[in-house]
Structure 1
Amino acid sequence: MQEDNKRFVERDRNWHPPAYAPGYKTSVARSPQQALVSMQKPTASELSGPDFRHLRMGPHDNDLLLNFSQGQGLPQGERIIMFGRVVDQFGKPVPHTLVEMWQANAGGRYRHKNDRYLAPLDPNFGGVARCLTDEAGWYRFRTIKPGPYPWPNDMNSWRPSHIHVSVMGPSISTRLITQMYFEGDPLIPLCPIVNTIKDPDAVETMVGRLDMARSNPMDCLAYRFDLVVRGELQTYFENQ
């Protein structure tokens, strides 16, 4: 445990956006009303587990083209591969950790009872998946590219195409919830949520890069999205 404590890197809160960001209207009501309490020393529960190595996965848990339709058809939209590595702040791979993702369909609509966007639901697309990283920290999903959608932040706010990602990392304190945007999307600099992040380098940690070498010819493009779960180069934490 002493060795783990030596390698614990305190989170740099200047890297993340402020909890109170009036341009992102829903942050106003949910921002803290009192000063945060600082934990001076990490506890054992923050530095340990969980262990996902024995978690059973279904044959299509990481394939959104197949995991919802049950063989009845394929979802509509641009087929893509999303892949990358999960590493810690020292570049060490995080093996056997759970990576979960959820997203809107190609029309920009989530399969959720509270989503009232006019785009139709896709009967062959559920929008959720999971996988475990391998020994070298790699993960991979096959899916469709989600569409942008409007949201009531102001008169004409649109979310860029994005995929939500949750990854646990080497311990409970390194759990990351973030979003992957797509390289070159013109809506990224217009998004009020993105604009709460003042450091351009932090924004870049949330952008998936086109990787033609990993694309499948005549099938789908590939986007690489690496995740750093702690330290100076950590991916932006949506849940902080």
Structure 2
Amino acid sequence: MAAAPAADAEFLMRDTTSHPPAYAPGYKTSVLRSPRNSLISLQNSLSEVTAPVFRADELGALDHDLLMNGAKGGLPIGERLIVHGHVRDQLGRPVKNALVEVWQCNASGRYRHKKDQYIGAIDPNFGGCGRMLTDENGYYYFRTIKPGPYPWRNRINDWRPAHIHFALSGDGWAQRLITQMYFEGDPLIASCPILRSVPSEEQIRGLIALQDLAAFIPLDSRAYRFDIVLRGRRATLFENLVQGNVA
């Protein structure tokens, strides 16, 4: 029988087969970024099992509302969306009070960044970033507009599918996760060099948010569901008491 893990318990070993290889020549920048030597697995220390603790009062009232938090004189242009889901560990337990940070390009496929020189239009009312905390059940949600696809200098005529970047900070640094969310039905997913480096179709499906008709806001917004799994802590094992014995 397993008890709830202690706050300083080690995390389960990372499953490297569920992540893309560091070296994926089809994704050109990985050639220079990837390590040349095999990775070494170390026992968890304080720097892995702990992490910053975030409070709701540290976040702004509109941090989770990308429709409004960058608006200057009107609303951003694009299809209005609700994105929501649960953050759980690999043992199915909710990760509460996790910091979820998101950033994305606007509806024309352009980021609000001085080095983004794509010809897509800049939207003065869209900042493109936000953050929120999960609740007691590991639930999160935010409002935004659907990002546009854009070309990138990987190979001739490579295009990124519409996507939203996620960065999560859970109970320990070992739960730190940076990933991307894609949209159900996007035809560019099949040809994206980054996604083609993911080991299996099942894992690719885990990066694709599904349309959630039940969460639509009538005459306002469509909705997508995106659940996220972080590493789990080891539980403390103990023996059941023999029937009739007194503890």
TM-score above 0.5, yes or no? yes
CA offsets, 1:92-137, max 9 Å, x none?
A: 1111111000000000000111111000110100100001111111
Give the equivalent residue in structure 2 for 1:203: 204
CA offsets, 1:113-162, max 9 Å, x none?
A: 11110001101001000011111111111000000000011111000000
Give the equivalent residue in structure 2 for 1:137: 138
Moved more, 150-159 or 54-63: 54-63
Q: Specify the code of the residue in structure 2 equivalent to 1:151.
A: W
For structure 1, the 5+ residue unaligned runs are 232-240
- 1:7, CA displacement in angstroms? 6.1
Structure 1 segment 96-107 matched on structure 2, within 5 A: 96-107=97-108
The yes-or-no answer on 1:14 pairing with 2:13 is no
Distance in 2 of aligned mates of 1:55 and 1:173? 25
Give the equivalent residue in structure 2 for 1:90: 91
The yes-or-no answer on 1:36 pairing with 2:72 is no
Indicate which of 48, 62, 78 corresponds to 1:46.
48
Give the equivalent residue in structure 2 for 1:181: 182
Distance in 1 of aligned mates of 2:19 and 2:161? 19
Which 4+ residue blocks in structure 1 deviate beyond 4 angstroms?
2-7
Sequence identity percentage: 54
Distance in 2 of aligned mates of 1:206 and 1:51? 27
Moved more, 55-64 or 115-124: 55-64
- 1:20, CA displacement in angstroms? 0.9
SS at match of 1:22: coil
- 1:224, CA displacement in angstroms? 0.6
- 1:55, CA displacement in angstroms? 4.6
Q: Does the CA-based 8 Å contact 1:88-1:169 persist in structure 2? A: no
Give the equivalent residue in structure 2 for 1:121: 122
Give the equivalent residue in structure 1 for 2:240: none
For structure 2, the 5+ residue unaligned runs are 233-247
Cα 1:54–1:108 shift into 2, 3 Å: closer
Q: Does the CA-based 8 Å contact 2:17-2:199 persist in structure 1? A: no
- 1:37, CA displacement in angstroms? 2.5
Structure 1 segment 151-190 matched on structure 2, within 5 A: 151-190=152-191
Aligned Cα root-mean-square deviation (Å): 1.7
Distance in 2 of aligned mates of 1:80 and 1:64? 10
- 1:64, CA displacement in angstroms? 0.8
Q: Count the aligned residue pairs.
A: 229
Higher gyration radius (CA):
2
Cα 1:157–1:126 shift into 2, 3 Å: same
